[in-house]
Structure 1
Amino acid sequence: MRLKISCELASNKIPADYRRKVVSVMKAGLSKSNEAKYKEMYSGNKQKNFTFSVYLPKPKFNGAVIELEKKKIVINFATADAELGINYYNALMNVRDKLLPFSTMNQIRVTNIQIVKEEQIVTERMAFKTLSPIVCRDHNKETKKDWFYWWEEDDFEAILKRNLYFQLRDKFGEYVKSDIEALEFREVAIKKTVVICYNLHVACSLGKFELVGKPYLLNHFVQGGIGSMRGMGFGMIEVI
């Protein structure tokens, strides 16, 4: 399920760490529309099986502040879980036309929510572009520390595939492991970017790439994102 959420802002200035503010809008709606689902999603460290990206009109980056050409943003939301998608659709409908805090410097209003038609991938090779950067995170359980890799680093593909297996094995079963190992990532035009998220500086990958693999996996990545931290606005891709 894919949603296009149009929003108006009170000011054209937003914080550089704006993804957490988008999450707060979703949480505000979900807590009111379905308290049980809200507690399920945000009590503890539950995996978020959705992704989102934010379109910013001609942004100018100035340290901790981003200045936009217009007082508008568009949030693109996607999930491969239809039931979860309906819950977030209802959550956003619940806050539509309401003025919500977006930061100390701004407020936001959801003005329109559209369900976007999705096309199924039927081939094993497809070109994509990122709508939000892909995060490849290696989490050390002993030290509780994270290390982030971008596309051209040696360990990127191995760690990304390991993470994909842990994310998808419950949904698709153990056989998904061999299909993930067989995935081929082919760079077209990828660059490194560093994004501020929850006060962390996250190294990630942005651009165009080809992916060769089973169509069910390619469809899942388009529908629900690829990589880590998808529920914080990373890993959203689309076919080009």
Structure 2
Amino acid sequence: MEKIIVEVDVRITLDYEITPDIIPKNYGRGFISLIKKLIENTDQFLFNEFYNQHKLKPFTFGTYFPHLQGNANDKLKVGNVVKVNFSTSSIQLATNIYNGFLKTPKHFWQNNESSIEFKPVKAFLNPNTIFRKNEHLFKTLSPFLINNEGNSNKFLLPGEDGFIEGLQFSLNECAKEFLGVDEKVEFEFEPVNMKMHVIYHYKKMPTNKGIFRMKAEPEILQMIYDVGIGVHRSQGFGLLEVVK
């Protein structure tokens, strides 16, 4: 594989071989470590900008284990293959992730007695989706988090007090950072087939998983598709696909 400059696509699938085939339920931190390493190995300036400053990051990602078998006490039997689906609105970052994949022949993450070793297999670019309508059905590829405006450690589900306000705040912040829009984002959110899904990520977190309908300006729908929805997007939350 040769290094490339990404010109159009902003969705990349990274295939890795991992060991062991049983990993902790809080495996998300291992994948955060992997993404950080790919960026660090290709663009130290961008790495410092993302991780040494309190700044919203223009990406999200999700993981898919094609040979997932289930739970084993506090661990997961996932097999030795994982697909990391990475999405961003930044051509520069997409290029860095792809080239970082090529430059990083191995990555090892360890936390206490848990560890994951990553060996790259292949990477490929996916065509992006262009939004022209102001309403779409979305499905979560990684569950998303909405927190309470007054308590960032309290996470909310659709129908709970503060959910819409929390979603409003996160949309406003992302629109300001990534689109240069200072006005309040106008939107409608409708759960279609949503459920709570508990994630082990530093602590137990109630996340939102499933299908929802979103009405907003096409550029807002494009934004949540490209960089994710909700909070902690760069930690592997909020990756979406369009339901056709």
State TM-score, norm by structure 1: 0.89
Partners of 1:194 and 1:202 within 8 A in 2: yes
Offset at 1:135? Answer: 0.5
Distance 1:231 1:115, change over 3 A: same
Q: Is residue 196 from structure 1 mapped to residue 200 from structure 2 by the alignment?
A: yes
Q: Which moved more, 1:16-25 or 1:59-68?
A: 59-68
CA distance in structure 1 between the aligned counterparts of 2:45 and 2:74, rounded to whole angstroms? 35
What residue number does 2:11 align with?
Answer: 2
What residue number does 1:24 align with?
Answer: 33
CA distance in structure 2 between the aligned counterparts of 1:160 and 1:23, rounded to whole angstroms? 23
Partners of 2:175 and 2:220 within 8 A in 1: no
Offset at 1:99? Answer: 2.8
Distance 1:150 1:115, change over 3 A: same
Q: Please show how residues 122-161 of structure 1 align to structure 2 within 5 Å.
A: 122-138=132-148, 140=150, 146-161=153-168
Q: Is residue 116 from structure 1 mapped to residue 126 from structure 2 by the alignment?
A: yes
SS at match of 2:41: helix
Distance 1:201 1:124, change over 3 A: same
Aligned Cα root-mean-square deviation (Å) = 1.8
The code of the aligned residue for 1:46 comes to K
Question: Which of 64, 78, 83 does residue 74 from structure 2 map onto?
Answer: 64
SS at match of 1:123: coil
Question: Which of 19, 34, 43 does residue 43 from structure 2 map onto?
Answer: 34
Q: How many residues align?
A: 230
Q: Please show how residues 80-229 of structure 1 align to structure 2 within 5 Å.
A: 80-95=89-104, 98-103=105-110, 104-138=114-148, 140=150, 146-177=153-184, 180=185, 182-197=186-201, 199-229=202-232
CA distance in structure 2 between the aligned counterparts of 1:44 and 1:80, rounded to whole angstroms? 19
Identity over aligned pairs, percent? 24
SS at match of 2:165: helix
Partners of 2:56 and 2:177 within 8 A in 1: no
Give structure 1 regions of 4+ aligned residues with deviation exceeding 6 angstroms: none
Offset at 1:166? Answer: 1.7
Q: Which moved more, 1:101-110 or 1:18-27?
A: 101-110
What residue number does 1:237 align with?
Answer: 240
Higher helix share: 1
The code of the aligned residue for 1:169 comes to K
User: Could you list the runs of 5+ residues in structure 1 that have no partner in the other structure?
Assistant: none
Q: Which moved more, 1:225-234 or 1:44-53?
A: 44-53
SS at match of 1:33: coil
Partners of 1:139 and 1:146 within 8 A in 2: no
Q: Provide, for residues 190-229 of structure 1, a one-character-per-residue CA deviation record: whole Å limited to 9, x for no partner.
A: 00111111x2222110000111111111111111101100
Offset at 1:172? Answer: 2.9
